[in-house]
Amino acid sequence: MPLSACYINLDRSPHRRQHMESQAAKIGLEGLRRFSAIDGRTLAKPDGCAITLAELACFQSHLQAIESSPAGDFALVMEDDVELSDDLVPTLHAGQLDALHGFDIVLLECQPYIGSD
């Protein structure tokens, strides 16, 4: 299964872009592309929207990054504040990706916050 990897980055955050690119080079992650994030400052809040404009922009950026990946590829989508592990490249070899074929979402080295309302 081919890999399509990108990181989401605001145009107004070049320092984060530089940090991501230097991390990718350090661990040997080739082909990582930058995805220009939607800026919440440019959005109008939809009626009845319960999330902030920054959260809405983040969601839309992730969705567009996923949709921009070639069909059939394993899409690795990251934000520009992620710390890349030295173990990432070995984890993403073809055999590992093939094993993930039936999954829609795979969380790698993260501790997601799941709040209760």
Q: What is the pLDDT of residues 33-46, one digit of tens each?
A: 999 999 999 999 88
- Number of structural domains in the chain: 1
Q: How far apart are CA 44 and CA 76, in angstroms?
A: 29
**Which of 67, 76, 65 lies closest to 105 in space, CA to CA?**
76
Q: Is residue 112 part of a domain?
A: no
- Over the stretch 4-32, which tens digit does the pLDDT of each residue have? 999 999 999 999 999 999 999 999 999 99
Q: Is residue 70 part of a domain?
A: yes
Q: pLDDT value at position 109?
A: 65
Q: Is residue 33 part of a domain?
A: yes
- Would you say residue 1 has pLDDT above 80? no
Instruction: Give residues with Cβ within 8 angstroms of 60, minimum separation 6.
Output: 38
Q: Whole domain around residue 18: which residue ranges?
A: 3-99
Which range of 35-44, 71-80, 92-101, 102-111 scores highest in mean pLDDT? It is 35-44
